[in-house]
Structure 1
Amino acid sequence: MKIVIIEDELLVAEDLAGNLKLVQPDIEIVCILSSVKEAVRYFTSHQQPDLIFSDIQLGDGLSFEIAKHITLQVPVIFCTAFDEYALEAFRANGIEYILKPFSTQSLAQALKKFKSMQKAMAGSIALQYEAAMATIAAINQNNSATIMVRYRERLFPIALDKITLFCLDNEITYMHTHSGKTYIMPESLEELEHKAGSVFFRVNRQFLVHRNSIRDVVDHFPRKLKINLNLPFDKDIIVSREKKSKLLEWLGR
């Protein structure tokens, strides 16, 4: 069986590929694609595989958008960390999924459904994805999206509204949560800024801060601002003169 993986976090993609090979050694991972744009480009010029495993939220948009540009003729199993609200919508629209972090057991069950999925999805994939996109858009608007975190040998989701900020320190990106925990992130601040959306503000080169984490903003010499957080933090978060008006506008919204 030939499989294409669409996932923008390389460690997650490699973990998925390795577990799939454990479940079924004769599986061929044709390629790993990391964005909507890359997937559209690939499927425009390559034969479609037998099955696709795809993350939902990619760096440049939702993976459902691929179906707007390419007529997918093979089943897609989505890898998701979304909450029960989203999963109910997937079930209602006949969309198959596995939860992150995935296990060999969940992958084995997904592969077992493969043949029945081929028949069930034929001709209806566009409508299924359109309904799913509307659901995910509503979730993002309500701040329920998540960021995947790797800790030791485990992958798990953390909701955006549980994150205080992302911080760049000595060229390493860290996530700080409300619970006081800190995780090293493989993504750059630029990538996280795109993923996190409008509830986060890129204060400067070093900090990406969640709106709900800000207690207040005070004047800081000369003509700058200083952000005080709701939680203890041992570094000063200074807003430059150039970003001062944008921050105040963002807080005002």
Structure 2
Amino acid sequence: MRIVIIEDEIKAAKSLATTIAAIRPTAQIVASLQSVESAVNFFTSNEQPDLVFMDIQLSDGLAFEIFEAVQLRCPVVFCTAFGEYALDAIRANGIDYILKPFSKEEVQKAFEKVDNLKNFFQQNTQPDLSGLLAKIGAANKGKESFLVFKDNKYITVPTEQIAFIYIRYDTTTIMTFQNQSFPLTQSLETVQEQLSPKQFYRLNRQYLVNFKAIKEVEHYSARKLFVKLVLPTPDELLIGKEKTTAFLEWMGER
């Protein structure tokens, strides 16, 4: 079986590849892609694989844009953090899903479902994703609040009140515009997948920032950018030269 993985988080892609190898030792992962653009280029110039594992939110857009550019005739297992919005639509289209963070058992079940659906995919038809796109579009608005635990109490923090989220010593922390901090049990990668990519930007490995929290952006040495927020941060917020163009495009999208 020839498999393609489309996942922009390298750690998640490697974990998935390891799990696939354990379940299907004879499977060959022919490509591990990280963006809509690279996926379209691959499918345009290569033979279609037997199966695709596809994350929904990629570095340059929603994975469903791939279907608008190329016709995939193989089964697709979606990896998603937006279960409450998309799962019913995915099921209606005969496509399985893995809800992040996934387990070995869930990947095994996905393989079993794909095996059972081989006849469906042999019809050489492209699934109708219009309903799914609409629901994913709604999901792309992001979570409205986060449940946190502090001072022996559970409270909800509205997403609109979050200025930035950062990680230090493996602890993820929310910082609000009121300069209040709240610890989270989720990784920064998991939190990022639940937020609107239009509203929040991953500056680096440590920081996710709200567009409304950005006060100004200055040029720094070696074509880097220095980002100042409306409230102080534990660290200087620097953007490397390889991400400056993407960040400025994100800033200018409004």
TM-score (norm 2): 0.64
Aligned length, in residue pairs: 203
Alignment partners' CA distance in 2, 1:12 and 1:138: 24
Gaps of 5+ in 2: 146-156, 175-180, 216-227, 238-250
Alignment partners' CA distance in 1, 2:96 and 2:159: 27
Partner of 2:86: 86
Partner of 2:143: 144
Partner of 2:241: none
Aligned partner of residue 179 in structure 1, secondary structure: strand
Partner of 2:183: 180
Alignment partners' CA distance in 2, 1:236 and 1:27: 44
Partner of 1:5: 5
CA RMSD of aligned residues (A): 4.1
Aligned partner of residue 77 in structure 1, secondary structure: strand
Aligned partner of residue 72 in structure 2, secondary structure: coil
User: Are 2:165 and 2:209, in contact at CA under 8 Å, matched by a contact in 1?
Assistant: yes
Aligned partner of residue 73 in structure 2, secondary structure: coil
Gaps of 5+ in 1: 147-158, 187-191, 218-224, 239-249
Deviation at 1:53, TM superposition (A): 0.5
User: Are 2:167 and 2:173, in contact at CA under 8 Å, matched by a contact in 1?
Assistant: no
Distance 1:69 1:202, change over 3 A: closer
Alignment deviations for residues 55-74 of structure 1 (CA, whole Å, 9 cap, x no partner) = 01111111111111111111
User: Are 1:164 and 1:176, in contact at CA under 8 Å, matched by a contact in 2?
Assistant: no
Aligned partner of residue 64 in structure 2, secondary structure: helix
- The residue identity in structure 2 corresponding to 1:119 is N
Partner of 1:161: 159
- The residue identity in structure 2 corresponding to 1:165 is F
Aligned partner of residue 8 in structure 1, secondary structure: coil
Deviation at 1:104, TM superposition (A): 1.2
User: Are 1:226 and 1:237, in contact at CA under 8 Å, matched by a contact in 2?
Assistant: no
Aligned partner of residue 52 in structure 2, secondary structure: strand
- The residue identity in structure 1 corresponding to 2:200 is F
1:21 and 2:21 are equivalent in the alignment: yes
Alignment deviations for residues 210-239 of structure 1 (CA, whole Å, 9 cap, x no partner) = 379x6xx9xxxxxxx9724xxxx764999x
Higher helix share: 1
- The residue identity in structure 1 corresponding to 2:230 is I
User: Are 1:176 and 1:183, in contact at CA under 8 Å, matched by a contact in 2?
Assistant: no
TM-score (norm 1): 0.64
User: Are 2:8 and 2:34, in contact at CA under 8 Å, matched by a contact in 1?
Assistant: yes
Alignment partners' CA distance in 2, 1:67 and 1:99: 21
Aligned partner of residue 4 in structure 1, secondary structure: strand
Alignment partners' CA distance in 2, 1:27 and 1:11: 20
Partner of 1:60: 60
- The residue identity in structure 2 corresponding to 1:30 is V
Partner of 2:244: none
